[in-house]
Amino acid sequence: MQYSQTVGVQTYHFKDLKDVLAKATPSRSGDYLAGVAAQTNAERMAAKMCLADIPLSQFLQELVIPYESDEVSRLIIDTHDAAAFSAISHLTVGGLRNWLLSDAADTETLTCVAPGITPEMAAAVSKLMRNQDLILVARKCRVVTAFRDTIGLKGRMSTRLQPNHPTDDPRGIAASIVDGLLYGSGDAVIGINPATDSIPALTDLYHLVDEVISEYGIPTQSCVLTHVTNQIQVMERGAPVDLVFQSIAGTEKANQSFGINLEILREAREAALSLKRGTAGDNVMYFETGQGTALSANAHFGVDQQTCEARAYAIARRYAPLLSNTVVGFIGPEYLYNGKQIIRAGLEDHFCGKLLGVPIGCDVCYTNHADADQDDMDNLMTLLGAAEVTFIMGIPGADDIMLNYQSTSFHDALYLRNVLGLKPAPEFEQWLSAMNISDSTGRVRPVTPTHRLLKSLPGKLQAA
Amino acid sequence: MRQFTQARIALGRTGSSLPTEEVLQFGYAHAMAQDAVHLPLDVDALCASLHAADFPTLRVNSRAGDRGTYLLRPDLGRRLEAESVAALQAAKPEKPLDLLLVVGDGLSSLAIQKHALPMLEAIRRIAPQDWQIGPVVVASQARVALGDEVGEALGARLVAILIGERPGLSSPDSLGMYLTYEPRVGRHNAERNCISNVRTEGLSYATAAHKLLWLAQEGLRLKLTGVDLKDESDMILIAPPAEIKQLP
């Protein structure tokens, strides 16, 4: 297929489908770094016009990365559901945008069509959508998962409690967990990024969180975000593993740079399923992604970073995760330069994930070398709340003292729940009420020193 | 509970929002961290202190000529400028180095100014006597992978790059160390082992040095670093004396 677009007297030529996709992408530093971005604003708009006229069926003929050389491409094609696709197979990319925004595309229809949409189709249509379009359509999509509680129901927004500590000190981690629980945080997962790679130390962390969850009967799950091969090892040694975590990216070569492939993910999932630790469901995986990861591993093959990111969601949905998290501003200014680019990317990722059927949440975040601040995070979290994002992070004071970046705080989640009327997962909501953490209206109560969590846990920690 | 962690716990709230004092404290910490990113490393002062401690040095620069370029073009920060390559090749020893130590500014020059010298001394203290270590290479506008090209040019079996980590609000001066077996241009991050959070409130120099040397010896034995080399240095510490003897 030839790709060109004439606007007025000017004709723009594009090499191939991935060139159109890259040049149609809203401006961001990572695509300039990769040398794939449009050179002028006019060229970008011409690429969008060209993209709007491309039939969706073309995406099944022309792969952005060849089938033969990339297992992610093979996964996308081999698991494509032609029957689900038939409802939209006659559309162009521009036609898909119109259809998604129409009343015909209701929640049920979108759920049925999801297996027929490839990541490249989702990325393509997102490039033609304004922020409000991304919010409106994502809000109509519904992806419900469960382990010990149920994530992703209408009107709910969950939080990952992230109690990181720079040296994995168990008392420091436990103190952050208690603080978060008292703010009603942690229904998506209590997930620790460990400083260590050491198997014995990792095993201790699993036991620490498991004890807190068991002691208070919390309807949530734990995760330690170490390499998947470490998690397979600790499961072999009998550690109480709820969710298996792994960072994933949209190309085989990028995943290779993480030291993983699809077979390792399958093996890890099987191991976690065999433990049968879920009570409400068996979604045992937790994935993290982020625009720019493929490029940072020099494994993008000329594909723009947002399309690479959407391809990672094909991996995520294959392994039925409880949660998938786009860590949107973590990677740094060479990929997303400022607040505007981070906000746009967060909305794109959430939209693409939901459209593809992934239970996607967002680490609304930035680093100290990016041109962004807490006001930008307020904007993005509010927009994602309106889009009914599956979950966001809960970090003490929004400051992760282990990973050195800023995200969203326990207070931020309360703000969103307050302004938008969002509630935590139903099982967790009941637990908060039973523990006297929230009142009958769901508002978090003032903390008293006599609260059960405060009275019993610090004593145990002192003894530790 | 605050005694257990530097994390911003027990901040209190007004309604469900942060009290004014905490909003201002956070804003100030963010301002400090942003400023720290842009502070240049004083290479002259660092080299003078290294010489005073009997560390010979070599200086190199990446292809990122200034901070702005460095932030937007990590690819340039991973490669040496041509003059630096030539200087290293001219200094290549006849016998391959067992462990080459590189110091790079990374995203926090403050981390290097505070921690590079004591960290290097802690490593030297427990490194095997018969190891060829070579000069300390001080690299400006450096990314982690710059150590690969430095190690390749000097002919090192292992390279460890000590680098300033991205500054956090509570930790503008955190040092990371990345160990790579048979360094050469194009190594993946999965082929390295990382020891992070070396700073006063984090991992101590002695513990970090112990971990690095354990990984280095295991790396040489297994002929690899990265995800296939698991850090079990904690287990060795509690292992029977017979096994401890194998450590320096």
**What single string gives the DSSP state of each residue in chain B?**
-GGG-SS------BTTBPPHHHHHHHHHHHHHHHHHHTPPP-HHHHHHHHHHTT--EEEEEBS--SHHHHHH-HHHHTSB-HHHHHHHHHT--SSPBS-EEEEE-TT-HHHHHHHHHHHHHHHHHHS-TT----PEEEEES--TTHHHHHHHHHTBSEEEEEEEPPPPSS-TT-EEEEEEES--TT--GGGEEEEEEESTTSB-HHHHHHHHHHHHHHHHHHT--STTS---HHHHHTS-HHHHTT--
The reply to whether A262 and A113 lie within a common domain is no
Chain A: residue whose CA lies nearest to B201: A166
| Mean pLDDT computed over A321-342 | 96
Asked if A158 and A151 count as a contact pair (C-beta separation under 8 A), the reply is: yes
Mutate to test the interface with B, among A197, A236, A300 (most CBs of B within 10 A): A197
Report the percentage of chain A scoring pLDDT > 70.
98
The reply to whether A262 and A370 lie within a common domain is yes
Q: DSSP assignment, residue A101?
A: H
Q: Which residues of B touch A230 (CB under 8 A)?
A: 230
Chain B: residue whose CA lies nearest to A230: B230
The reply to whether A90 and A178 lie within a common domain is no
Domain boundary among A129, A162, A178: A129
* B218 interfaces chain A, CB cutoff of 8 Å: no
DSSP 3-state assignment of A338? strand
* Residue contact A175–B30, C-beta within 8 A: no
Report the distance separating Cα B77 and Cα B145, nearest Å: 8
* A411 interfaces chain B, CB cutoff of 8 Å: yes
Q: Count how many pairs of residues, chain A against chain B, have C-beta atoms within 8 Å.
A: 177
In-domain check, residue A205 = yes
Distance from CA of A19 to the nearest CA of B (A): 21
| For residue B246, pLDDT beyond 50 | no
Distance from CA of A93 to the nearest CA of B (A): 32
Q: What would the pLDDT profile of B153-194 be if each residue is shown by its tens digit?
A: 999 999 999 999 988 888 889 899 999 999 999 998 889 999
Classify domain B43-244 by CATH number.
3.40.50.11240
Distance from CA of B56 to the nearest CA of A (A): 32
Q: Which residue has better confidence, A222 or B237?
A: A222
| For residue B151, pLDDT beyond 50 | yes
| Mean pLDDT computed over A390-408 | 95
In-domain check, residue A135 = no
Q: What would the pLDDT profile of B67-105 be if each residue is shown by its tens digit?
A: 989 999 988 999 999 999 999 999 999 999 999 999 999
* Residue contact A374–B72, C-beta within 8 A: no
* Residue contact B197–A167, C-beta within 8 A: yes
Q: What would the pLDDT profile of B117-131 be if each residue is shown by its tens digit?
A: 999 999 999 999 999
Enumerate residues 255 to 294 of chain A having a beta carbon within 8 A of any beta carbon in chain B: 256-259
A457 band by pLDDT with thresholds 50, 70 and 90: low
Report the percentage of chain A scoring pLDDT > 90.
92
The reply to whether A349 and A216 lie within a common domain is yes
Q: Which residues of A touch B75 (CB under 8 A)?
A: 33
Q: What is the CATH number of the domain that holds A51?
A: 1.10.220.70
* Residue contact B196–A195, C-beta within 8 A: yes
User: What rounded mean pLDDT belongs to chain A?
Assistant: 96
* Residue contact B168–A297, C-beta within 8 A: no
Q: Which residues of B touch A398 (CB under 8 A)?
A: 8, 26
* B26 interfaces chain A, CB cutoff of 8 Å: yes
Q: What would the pLDDT profile of A300-311 be if each residue is shown by its tens digit?
A: 999 999 999 999
Q: Which residues of A touch B79 (CB under 8 A)?
A: none
In-domain check, residue A285 = yes
| For residue B44, pLDDT beyond 50 | yes
Lookup: tokens for B134: 């070579």
| Mean pLDDT computed over A361-382 | 96
- Which has the closest alpha carbon to B174: B114, B100, B104, B103? B114
Domain boundaries, chain B: 43-244
Q: What is the CATH number of the domain that holds A208?
A: 3.20.20.70
Q: What would the pLDDT profile of A277-291 be if each residue is shown by its tens digit?
A: 999 999 999 999 999
Instruction: Determine the pLDDT at residue B238.
Output: 37
Enumerate residues 12 to 71 of chain A having a beta carbon within 8 A of any beta carbon in chain B: 29, 32-33
* Tally of structural domains, chain A: 2
| For residue A55, pLDDT beyond 60 | yes
Instruction: Determine how β-strand A323-327 pairs with β-strand A360-363.
Output: parallel
Which of left, alpha, beta for A7 (phi over 0: left; psi -120 to 50: alpha)?
A: beta
The reply to whether A77 and A35 lie within a common domain is yes
Count of CA atoms in the C-beta half-sphere (13 A) of B231 = 25
A462 band by pLDDT with thresholds 50, 70 and 90: low
| For residue A464, pLDDT beyond 60 | no
* Residue contact A198–B33, C-beta within 8 A: no
Instruction: Determine the pLDDT at residue A448.
Output: 84
ipTM of the modeled complex = 0.91
**Sequence-distant (≥ 6) Cβ neighbours of residue A312 within 8 angstroms:** A72, A119, A248, A249, A250, A287, A289, A293
- Which has the closest alpha carbon to B184: B214, B204, B156? B156
Q: Which residues of B touch A167 (CB under 8 A)?
A: 197, 202-203
| For residue B243, pLDDT beyond 60 | no
Q: Which residues pair with B175 in a beta bridge?
A: B164, B198
Report the distance separating Cα B32 and Cα A348, nearest Å: 31
In-domain check, residue A452 = no
In this structure, which amino acid lies at residue A238? G
- Size of chain B, expressed as the number of residues it contains: 248
Distance from CA of B166 to the nearest CA of A (A): 6
| Mean pLDDT computed over A193-201 | 92
Instruction: Determine the pLDDT at residue A148.
Output: 98
Report the distance separating Cα A146 and Cα A225, nearest Å: 19
Enumerate residues 352 to 381 of chain A having a beta carbon within 8 A of any beta carbon in chain B: 367-369, 373-374
The reply to whether A84 and A218 lie within a common domain is no
| Minimum mean pLDDT range among A339-343, A458-462, B126-130 | A458-462
Distance from CA of A52 to the nearest CA of B (A): 31
Minimum-distance CB partner of A397 among B22, B171, B189: B22
DSSP 3-state assignment of A150? strand
Minimum-distance CB partner of A175 among B5, B18, B196: B5
Q: Which residues of A touch B33 (CB under 8 A)?
A: 368
The reply to whether A384 and A280 lie within a common domain is yes
The reply to whether A157 and A282 lie within a common domain is yes
Asked if A49 and A39 count as a contact pair (C-beta separation under 8 A), the reply is: no
Minimum-distance CB partner of A167 among B36, B73, B202: B202
Minimum-distance CB partner of B13 among A196, A368, A411: A411
Enumerate residues 89 to 128 of chain B having a beta carbon within 8 A of any beta carbon in chain A: 107
Minimum-distance CB partner of A166 among B18, B202, B230: B202
* Residue contact A175–B174, C-beta within 8 A: no
Q: Which residues pair with B102 in a beta bridge?
A: B137, B161
Report the distance separating Cα A134 and Cα A126, nearest Å: 7
- Residue B153's CB is within 10 A of a number of other CB atoms, namely 24
Chain B: residue whose CA lies nearest to A299: B188
Distance from CA of B112 to the nearest CA of A (A): 16
Lookup: tokens for A29: 């530093």
DSSP 3-state assignment of A156? strand
Report the distance separating Cα B132 and Cα B93, nearest Å: 10
* B190 interfaces chain A, CB cutoff of 8 Å: yes
| Residue-number span of the structural domain to which A412 is assigned | 145-434
The reply to whether A284 and A426 lie within a common domain is yes
**Sequence-distant (≥ 6) Cβ neighbours of residue A324 within 8 angstroms:** A286, A287, A288, A289, A313, A316, A353, A358, A359, A360, A361
In-domain check, residue A78 = yes
The reply to whether A87 and A186 lie within a common domain is no
Q: What would the pLDDT profile of A82-132 be if each residue is shown by its tens digit?
A: 999 999 999 999 999 999 999 999 999 999 999 999 999 999 999 999 999
In-domain check, residue A428 = yes
**Sequence-distant (≥ 6) Cβ neighbours of residue A137 within 8 angstroms:** A100, A101, A105, A110, A129, A351, A354, A355
Instruction: Determine how β-strand A323-327 pairs with β-strand A285-289.
Output: parallel
Q: What would the pLDDT profile of A216-260 be if each residue is shown by its tens digit?
A: 999 999 999 999 999 999 999 999 999 999 999 999 999 999 999
Q: Which residues of B touch A332 (CB under 8 A)?
A: 71, 74, 166
